[in-house]
Amino acid sequence: MGHTDAMIHSQSRIDDTQCFATVRALRWPDGVRCPTCDSSEVTQHGRDDTQPERQRDLCKPCGHRFDDVTDTIFAGHHQPLRVWRVCLYVMGLHLSQAHMAEELDLQPSDLHQMTCQWRHGMVAKQPTPT
pLDDT tens-digit profile of 71-81? 888 887 777 88
Read off the pLDDT band of 125 (50, 70, 90): low
Q: Give the pLDDT of residue 6.
A: 47
Read off the pLDDT band of 123 (50, 70, 90): low
CA angle 36/76/18 to nearest 5° reads 85
Domain ranges within the chain, ordered by starting residue: 3-124
* Distance of alpha carbon 64 from alpha carbon 58, whole angstroms: 6
- pTM beyond 0.85: the answer is no
Q: Say if CB 47 and CB 54 are below 8 A apart.
A: yes
